[in-house]
């Protein structure tokens, strides 16, 4: 589970089989305890969504804060860099 802001999303595309697919970039900012003190955490990460989730996420405007649930996988067989696969989300505020 992660709270983040969608900072950009590609246009909705479809896989060859016709499954909707959406690529997005998420930005996370929070305060986390580190060795007894609060520390500012911030990072950007790539994410993917497929199917109904992709269609719903395509309606969410960039800048909105959202809670995401999903799993991590490598980007593809040429890159081991991680990417978040979103399986559920909920807009905050």
Partner 1 sequence: MTPARVSIGPVVQIALDVPLDQCFDFLAPGATAQDIGQLAVVPFGKRKTTGVILGVANTSTLDPAQLKPVDRVMRDVPAFAPRDLALMRFLAGYYQHPLGQVLMSCLPPALRNERAPVAVAALVTRHVALSPAGEAFDAASLPTRAIAQRRVLQALQVRPETRAALVVSIPGAAQALKALTQKGLVKMDVVAPTIPDPLDAASTLSPALIPAQSTAVNRIRENLDRFRTFLLFGITGSGKSEVYLQSVAACLARGRQALILVPEVHLTPQLAARFRIRFPGVHMAVLHSHAASRERLKDWLAAQAGHARIVLGTRLAVTTPMPELGLIIVDEEHDTSFKQQEGLRYSARDAAVYRGSLAACPVVLGSATPSLESWRNAQPDGESDGRYELLTLPERAVPGAKLPAVRVINSAHEPQNEGLGGTLIAALKQRLARREQSLVFINRRGFAPALVCAQCAWMPECGHCSARMVFHRGQSPNRPDHPGRLHCHHCGETRPVPTHCGDCGSVELAPLGRGTQRVEETLAGLFPAARVARLDRDAARAKGVATRIFAEAAAGDVDILVGTQMLSKGHDFPNLTLVGVLNADDAMFSADFRAPERLFAQLVQVAGRAGRAGLPGEVLIQTRFPTHPLYAAVCAQDYPGFAKLQDDERRLAGLPPHAALALLRVEGRKPGEAMKAAKAAATLARALTEARGKVHIHDALPAALAKKGGWERAQVLVQSPSRTALHRLLAPWRAVLAAELPRQVRWALDVDPMEV
Where do contacts with partner 1 occur on this chain (CB under 8 A)? 14-21, 50, 73-74, 76-77
Which residues make Cβ contacts (< 8 Å) with residue 92, sequence separation at least 6? 3, 64, 65, 66, 67
Report the residue number, 74 or 90, with the smaller CB distance to partner 1: 74
Nearest approach in angstroms of CB 59 to partner 1 is: 16
Nearer to partner 1, 12 or 28 (CB): 12
Nearer to partner 1 (CB atom), residue 61 or residue 77: 77
Give the whole-angstrom CA distance, residue 44 versus residue 42. Answer: 7
Minimum distance from residue 33 beta carbon to partner 1 (Å): 36
Residue spans of alpha helices (H) in 1-93: 51-58
Angstrom distance (rounded) from CA 47 to CA 10: 11
């Amino acid at each position: 589970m992660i709270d983040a802001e969608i900072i950009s999303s590609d246009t909705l595309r479809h896989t060859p089989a016709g499954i909707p697919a959406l690529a997005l970039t998420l930005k996370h900012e929070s305060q986390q305890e580190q060795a007894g003190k609060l520390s500012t955490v911030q990072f950007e990460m790539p994410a993917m969504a497929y199917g109904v989730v992709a269609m719903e996420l395509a309606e969410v405007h960039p800048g909105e804060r959202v809670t995401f649930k999903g799993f991590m996988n490598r980007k593809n067989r040429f890159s081991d860099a991680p990417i978040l696969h979103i399986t559920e989300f909920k807009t905050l505020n």
